Every structure is written in C-alpha cells, then in structure tokens.
Structure 1
Amino acid sequence: MKKLILVTAVALSVMSCGNNKKENTKENSSISIDGSSTVYPVTEAIAEEFRAEDPDVNVTIGVSGTGGGFKKFGRGETDISNASRPIKEDEMNDARQNNIDFVELEVAYDGLAVVINPENDWVDCMTVEELKMLWSPEAQGKVTRWNQIRPEWPNEEIHLFGPGVASGTFDYFTEAIVGESGSSRGDYTASEDDNVLVQGVAGDKYGLGFFGLAYFEENQDKLDIVAVDGGEGCVEPTMETVSSGTYAPLSRPLYVYVNSSSVQNNPKVIDFINFYLNEAPTLLKDVGYVPLTSEEYKEQKEKFQAFVEKHQK
C-alpha cells in the first residue's frame, strides 16, 4: 500500500512539474503591448506578420494612449510601450522606482493631419498662427465661430475634435502649434480613439479635428485635409513631405519602448523587436506611415542589440 502511495505521489509530482513547465512556456510565449493609438496600426501590422511566422506567440496590443501606456509600462505590466512622443521625466522616474530599465527605439515617421468635413468649401489651408488662435487655452469660450479666424469664412460655430490629454498626439500638437506641451483649450470633443474623432468630423459640416496622418489616409473618403503653412507656404502632409521635413511643424518620429526585464526573461520579446525593425520598412507604407532610412534602422538595431547584451550578462 505504501509503495502504491509513493508511486502515485511521484506520478502526481511529475504531472505537476509538466504542467508548470507548460504554463511557463505559455507565459513566455506572450508579449504584452500598450500605448499610443497612433503607433497601434504600425505595431499591429508587424504583430500580424509575426504571428503568421510564430503562431504560438500571443501578442496582445492595447490602446490607452501614450501616457496611459507609459503608466502601465512603468508599473511593469507591459513588455513594450507604443509612444508618439518621448517618455517624460516623471514617467522615467516611475519606471526607475520599479527597477525597470528600458530602451527607446524610433520605428517610423508620422505627420499630424488637420482635417475637415468634405462639405467644408471655405478652408484649404491654415497658418500655424491661425491654428494657435483656435486651439490655445485663451480661445476657450471666445474663439467659437469660423469667421473669427478669417472674416470671409462663415459666421457658423466651429466644432472641434481632438485626442485626449493622455495622448502623445495631443502633447505633440500642443507643443508644435500652441508652443507648450499640454496647453490647449478644453472645450472640444476629446477621445483616445482616433476612429471616434474621424466619425465626429465626418458627421459635422462645421467640424475640425487633428490626429495621425495614417487615420486620415484610412478615411479619406469621409474627410478632407487642411494644408498647413508653417512659414514656407501651404504644405499638405504626404509620405514625401513628412519624410523630407517640409511638412513643418507637424512631422514627428514614432517610438516603441522595451522593458529590460522582458528582454531578460522572454526571448520572444527580443525576436519580436528584431522582426519589427527588419520588417518595418516594407510594412509601413501599407498602413500609411513613413519608414526611417536604412541607416537609421541600422542604428536602431545596433542600439537594441547593445541593450540586450547589457541585460543578458
């Protein structure tokens, strides 16, 4: 009887070890990503190709905005954070307090699109000063009608749509247009979901909004784009004008941030980032973004390799 019990205990122990091993393998086959809605289409396109090559890896991608993504990243809840702006000092401090080191990698360029409803037949170009007049904090409750921007424009109420305050796109736009990151009027329809903004402007003749260029290109049958005059004449955002920098000041790099503990504990994260940097030049144009140059991608690969070596010693 004792022999039977011993054999059963050993068998259960082996089964238990086998189950634990399976669970650990499953855990290490998961990659958790969150952050910018602007970077989401890039990362999702890469992830789709990666899943096709390695179907056992579960890549999940959330969209809580750049700021929301950095909060999760700083708590160690995600392996990778999508970001449409560089990490802020307080976000760095949050990560350091949790013993999280990270690497910042540029993955693409993007332009911010200022968009209007197709029925709007009076706007084709706006200067940076006009956009500032419209979006600055001082405009709240005061600049509310189109003819306040230019007298020849209609005496109709402007309805504004834009990203929420947790969005890196919001931070970038306010810095580039208003002159201070996060400085904006508050009386506009805000959403972290760019599709909500698209629907808002598409359904409102007197609407105006802004978001990443890729979302305009996906929805150009519902929207019109506004050229921006940054001092050198009116320029529309395109792959060419964003890449050349002539679409100023609303062109910017996009980033992913990688958690050091993920690099140490999950080889699939390393595989995914290497795959990302290799495949991005091919896939980016399909989702409406501008690739870095070959030399720039080479620099990012070398930067990531150095980070991996540092944390695998």
Structure 2
Amino acid sequence: MLTSAKRYAPLGIFAAVAALSASLIPPTLSQEAATIRIDGSSTVYPVTEAVAEAFQKAEGGKVRVTVGISGTGGGFKKFCRGETDISNASRPILAKEMEACKAAGVRYIELPVAYDALTVVVNPRNTWAKSLTVAELKKIWEPGSTINNWNQVRKGFPNIPLKLFGAGADSGTFDYFTEAINGKAKASRKDYTASEDDNVLVQGVSRERGALGYFGYAYYAENKSKLKPVAIDNGKGPVMPSEKTVVDGTYQPLSRPIFIYVNAKAAQRPEVKKFITYYLNNAPAMVKKVKYVPLPASAYKTVLANFNKNRIGTIFGGKEAVGLTINELLSLEAKE
C-alpha cells in the first residue's frame, strides 16, 4: 500500500491507487514490515507508484514502500541528507547535488527507467495554437518576458489573455524545460502559476481558455478530455509528442530520459535489491501503463546489470541531458 510524504495524484488511474491509501497500515501489512522510502519527481511518480503498488502486493505485506512528491530538486535534497533510499528524478543529478551527496557521504547508483515527452498543453477551447516554435516558446517563457496576450505570440493569434502554468523551481521538469527552451536551467520568467504537483497545473490549464502549460506526457494522457497538446517546431516542422516521435528522435528538444537514483548503502538491503530488480524487470509494462516510453527490453537488462555491479555515480557529469535520444542514452550506458 502506498503512502505519500506529501500528496497523491488524484486523477484517473492514479486515483485508484490514492484511494487505496486511506489507511497508513492496511490489515495485510505487518507493523514490522521493512520500509523503502522514495521521494522526488512528480513526473517519475506514476511509474514508481505503479511498481511500488504491484511489488507490495507481490511481497504479501512484508515490505512497505512510501512514495512522495517533492519535485526532483526537493527529492535530491532529502536523498543527499540520507532521508530516502531512492530518489525519483526527471533529469540527471546536478553538480551541486553531487557535491551535497559527497559531503554527506551518500553514494548513489543512477538508473534510467523510461523516456518522457515533456508536453506543452493548452485549453481545449484554444483553436489557434496547434503548434508553437521553440523560438515562440522562448519569447513566452524567457526571463523578463512581458508576453501576456496570445496576439503577442504570433501574428493572427487572437486578443486573448495568456495565462501561464508551469513547473516549480524544485522540479526537474522546470530545470529541463528552461534549459531546452531558454538555453539555461532555471532561467525563466517568474509571473506564472508554478507547482511541483502536475495535477495543479492540469487543473489550471483546464479552467482557463487562454492557458498554456507544460508537464510530463503521462499527465496529459490521463487528462486528454481537459487538455490539448501543442506540436513543437524545432526548425523541421511541427511534431506532436508520442511514443513514435520519442523513439525516432524527432520530438526535440522536449524528449528526455527519466531516472531513479538508489542510495548505494540502501541498495545492499535485501528488500531494496529485490524492489529494484522487480522495478527493472517489470518496467516495460509499467512504463507503458502510465503512458511513458519504455526503453528497449535489452536496455533494462543492461541497467539491472549495472545495478548489480554497484556502478556508482552518474554518466552525465552533473549536466542536463537536453536533446539526448534513446539510442544516445543506450550508447552511454553501454560504454560505462
């Protein structure tokens, strides 16, 4: 049974799991059950949540898994203080976080688990913004931007106020989006509705005709009746987010890998080792279930082998992975 340190995703398929969490310790869960503590990205949450629920059932109450949503940055703060065993992350660990972990003596194993198409969405009543260029997105979101009406975005767009909804500063999605669109992580205008909880953003965009927002594809897929995706034009024509465009590398620059980070000391505990093995063995089905893009089956075997070899550290050197295709990620995994 899942418990959350912060909140649950209350919509659609996530609601069923949240409803099951009414009691902290269900009758089938032993008071002495081993506990695995997870926190971090709201983007990765749906995958880890689905795996955790299935794993706990498979273990018959012997292991308790808690999954919180503090955002990637917030999750790493807890992880590097040794407060969690696993950190969900929608971007690679950054240099400052690496230093924080090092200072606290926390070593970690980096495991890519899926790909996400970071999705730009508008309200269903928006009939004009079927696609946006990267340059237009930058004009909207760059620091100091004064764009507050759709007619300022592109000639021919209507005179309708532009209401912006985006990830909060502790979110890996915020870091990735600002790096990909504005050229520098965390470089963004500040006058918008921000949250680390993507469901808050979903609700905001669904209520405002002139709204524009962004978050992980799973949250769009779970709320298709309330949202409309926008095709992204990176100079080669508009491309919609989808499994196909992520796999073939055409959905750029908003296609990205997502990760879990495992505390290397915690990884030696039998229940954590069993959980990670279960996670990676079942990832293809679980990832598809929550509408993200699974890695090739062979990749999960490689990632599991890296975990079993206790491969410490990151392959990204404290930097973002903007524009990294699945094949490029697998090439990096294989080299290490």
User: TM-score under structure 1 normalisation?
Assistant: 0.88
The match for 1:225 is 229
1:174 aligns with 2:178: yes
User: Could you tell me which amino acid in structure 1 is paired with residue 212 of structure 2?
Assistant: L
Distance 2:311 2:165 in 1: 41
CA shift for structure 1 position 36: 0.1
Aligned length: 282
CA shift for structure 1 position 144: 1.1
- What is the aligned-residue RMSD (CA, Å)? 1.4
CA shift for structure 1 position 96: 1.3
1:45 aligns with 2:50: yes
User: Structure 1 stretches (4+) deviating beyond 6 angstroms?
Assistant: 25-28
Distance 2:88 2:252 in 1: 23
User: Could you tell me which amino acid in structure 2 is paired with residue 271 of structure 1?
Assistant: K
The match for 2:280 is 277
The match for 1:121 is 127
Q: String of CA shifts for 1:264-305, please: whole Å, max 9, x gaps.
A: 3x2100000010000001121110110001222122011101
* Range with bigger deviation, 299-308 or 285-294: 299-308
The match for 2:187 is 183
1:31 aligns with 2:36: yes
For structure 2, list consecutive stretches of 5 or more residues without a partner in the other structure.
Answer: 1-29, 313-336
The match for 1:69 is 75
Q: String of CA shifts for 1:231-275, please: whole Å, max 9, x gaps.
A: 1111100111112211111000000000012123x2100000010
User: Could you tell me which amino acid in structure 2 is paired with residue 66 of structure 1?
Assistant: T
1:294 aligns with 2:297: yes
Q: 1:26 to 1:263 in 2, by over 3 A?
A: farther
The match for 2:197 is 193
Q: Report which of the two has the higher share of helix.
A: 1
CA shift for structure 1 position 26: 6.2
Equivalent of 2:142, from 116, 121, 136? 136
For structure 1, list consecutive stretches of 5 or more residues without a partner in the other structure.
Answer: 1-24
The match for 1:3 is none
CA shift for structure 1 position 308: 7.7
Asked if the contact 2:169–2:186 (Cα under 8 Å) also holds between the matched residues in 1, the reply is yes
- What is the 5 A alignment of 1:88-103? 88-103=94-109
Distance 1:229 1:217 in 2: 21
Distance 2:84 2:311 in 1: 17
User: TM-score under structure 2 normalisation?
Assistant: 0.82
Distance 2:83 2:76 in 1: 10
1:212 aligns with 2:240: no
Distance 2:166 2:142 in 1: 13
Equivalent pairs: percent with the same residue? 55
The match for 2:86 is 80
